[in-house]
Structure 1
Amino acid sequence: MIIFRYLLKEVAKTQLAVFLVLMTIFISQKFVRVLGDASEGGIPGQLVMTFIALKIPDLAGFILPLSLFLGVLLAYGRIYADSEMTVLHACGVSEWYVVRVTLVLALVTAILTGIFTLYLSPLASEYEYQVKEELAADSGLSALVSGRFQQTGNQDAVVFIHDKDRKTNSFNKVFVAQLPKSGNLDANIINSSLVYAKTGKVFEDDKGSQQLVLGDGTRYHRDFDSGEFQSVSFTKYYIQIKDQEVERHHRKLNALSTPDLFKNPPPELAASYSATIQWRIAFPLACIILIFIAVPLSVVNPRQGKFAKMLPALMLFLGYLLLLTSMRSAIEKNALPSVIGLWPIHIGALFIGITLLMKERSSGRIIKAKLPSFKRNKLAKQRAQAIESSKGEED
């Protein structure tokens, strides 16, 4: 029991460290992209952390199997490099016992991965679609950024603000260009109404429609009869912005819940539904299969160091992932029957892991050592039979 807790603790500790490092790296990359969209006015600044949080389930579902794989390699590689595993083997701890101990942690990781890939990740994708649709339907006044020209949701006005108070949602030094609806671009520019105000504020009613109320400003417009430009000073000026109806965009399959994927899909999308289901199951299943590869590859010589087999191990992991991706794409394109699916890749990876494990086990080494003597005995028998047959011919 002490050995069980020790091995489990070492692997879990290393896996957690690898998981946190990888999550920090990937989240930082997502943060830079989302922050770039926010700086360009694509999304409001207050929703930056929301979009980052919605990316976490998808990233966690991918990083958990990788962190387990690297955690086993690093933890057991250190134990082998420090000759601790040699002592454990001398005390009767077999390679298969190490695999069984690690499979306990792999089972827990597979359950967590399944929660992310089968439930949380589709839920986060669906919520992200809903947030983007609400932003698209919004007139854009609540997402105005100071120091930038922005077009309203109905495409009829361009707004520029100098300063913005986020607490009261009020503006200072507001410029608005109202463009009349016309197919002639030159006519739009000439007949546009230009408004400048010292202050501005957004009001929203119960139905969701918004009004931009400007104060202490001047409106410049062209008189249609005389063709002359006029200016009108005002104390308050209201601009009604009609909100667009929320349009439900086409969802990708990654936003559909897992129970919905098992329902009767459209015939033309049956292969894609099957590929998506198998893709979500692949990551929890990979947590179990990768243990059979990681444990034998963690065996290193103390002189080599714990990173001796890190490169071939990573190459096997990348090959496993790329093959899964290729098979999924082939199923979606109907180039491969969905009944076959991703199972040949899983079976092949499991076969490689068992082969590597048998080579490291004592029974495997005994069989390997007996093969040359078996071949020599077989050759000796063949030679004896050849000599006896030759003597019989001479007689």
Structure 2
Amino acid sequence: MQARLLLEDGTLFTGLAFGAEGQSAGEVVFNTGITGYQEVISDPSYCGQIVTMTYPLVGNYGISRDDFESVRPYIHGFVVRRHEPVPSNWRAQYTLDRLLKEYGIIGISDIDTRMLTRILRHHGTMKGILTTGSERVEELRERLDLTPLMRDQVARTSTKSIFSSPGDGERIVLIDYGAKSGILRELTRRGCDVVVVPHDATADEIRRLAPDGIQLSNGPGDPKDAPQAVATLKELLGEFPIFGICLGHQLFALACGADTTKLKFGHRGGNHPVKELATNRCYITSQNHGYTVLEDSIAGTKLEVTHINNNDRTIEGLRHTEFPAFTVQYHPEAAPGPFDSSYLFDQFLDMIRDHKRSHPKKPRQAELAERQRGELQYAQK
């Protein structure tokens, strides 16, 4: 079956269809990773986007549910140079084609993804429409013009209710803006008692859970589309240690008075070099974002830049100069991906322990009782 991809600049790609049939529109972006297509497809940060893989062969190791980063995929389309329908991997449970069919996602293969990537790098990300139908190009262009880009991705991808992953260590409230499972995995691996709350949890609701620290997750879309999250962080800043990742980094910056802007074509892939300014060391990082914190907006805030991108010098890390809080734009939890930056979770826990030593809390029994009351009140909400 034939499939077509039409960009808003009029460029038309014609290839072979796999996955679901139908029509779907979204922002067309590209990922530079050479592996990890399962993580890409299941990363909630791609919600509403048509994702192009720059590595030419995709599908060759099939699909394993153990490698998913969310309950379901949220992408609006998948573009590859070559789709391998018969995987060779003892862990594979089924094929990429079956996964896309299961969730109604259209795939297109056998197009020039190098050309598509060059267009997006030159002109920037743009809207596109994927179809397996026989509509005239004029009809597709009209449909594309009338279809706005999605603006409520965080609400779509966030958990709707509180849940926990018990542990014997520090209690971490993970605010879910569209969190990858890897963040929860890294925290529980370190023995943390993790409580995951929806994106719209209020500051008072979070306080009632009596956290030792707050983890801000990744997520999709423009951080300015989540003003309630920014307002909540303003209330919590200085009260609890905070560690933010990706969208959490951007929301934290907005809460501290900085500003964000959209990048021309974003950073997406597992091979982005980032320099840590304190050590002058370069880390290879996994990234997936289309927005960045404006460097000029840091002046006048109580934020300090800790990391920069070696390719375009954009901000990749921030630290609050008064309160125990730091954030990074990249993904230290990425898997598959480089493991260079997983130490940041250890830094977060060290920061929490330092804060607890300087701010003694209630006796353990009273603290546990308060946490249980908070969870009960949240559940009853």
TM-score band w.r.t. shorter chain: under 0.3
Bigger radius of gyration among the two: 1
Higher helix share: 1
TM-score (normalised: structure 1): 0.22
TM-score (normalised: structure 2): 0.23
Q: Pick 1 or 2: higher relative contact order, CA cutoff 8 A, min separation 6.
A: 1
